[in-house]
Amino acid sequence: MLTLLIRLGLRAGEVAALELDDIDWRAGEVTIRGKGRREERLPLPVDVGDALVGWLRRGRPRCECAKVITRVRAPHRGLTTAGVSAIVRAACVRAGLPEVGAHRLRHTAATEMLRAGAGLVEVGQVLRHASVLTTSMYAEVDRDRLRTLALPWPGSAS
């Protein structure tokens, strides 16, 4: 679940909504049900697929629930958005890190894409933002990188 959040930049609700039939193993894609009832197909990176296989084989209890991420204790049903965020916070505590919610992992995914050289348009596409204005909030994340892109003021020495 954590891998889905940080590698695909999914929202907690998108992880909670993910169903077994949403994964197309042959095509290497996953269908995400996002905001506004939008459905989008995303590539399924190998490491994310491996994490899902590990969960499905060794973590997820055998049950009739169609959700990918389920409770490990009975009753075995899908998690809510709040349940996904609670697991993220619990993982932080186990790791000795400050507690954060699931949305922080989405923010981290965007930040890492920018640091790797992706532009705001690409980040917006991965995060499935409807507007580039929504993605523009990440422009302030890496001020040092922004300084290298900024043109010098006309007439200045630098």
**Residue ranges per domain, the chain?**
2-149
Average pLDDT, the chain: 86
Cα 64 to Cα 47: distance, rounded to the nearest angstrom: 26
11 is known as an active-site residue: yes
Question: Looking at 77, 103, 115, 145, which residue is catalytic?
Answer: 103
The confidence score (pLDDT) of residue 21 equals 96
**Which of 106 and 148 is assigned the larger pLDDT?**
106
115 is known as an active-site residue: no
Per residue in 66-100, pLDDT (tens digit) is: 999 999 999 999 999 999 999 999 999 999 999 99
CATH of domain 2-149: 1.10.443.10
**Phi and psi angles of residue 129, each rounded to the nearest 5 degrees, phi first:** -75, 140
The confidence score (pLDDT) of residue 145 equals 57
pTM of the model: 0.80
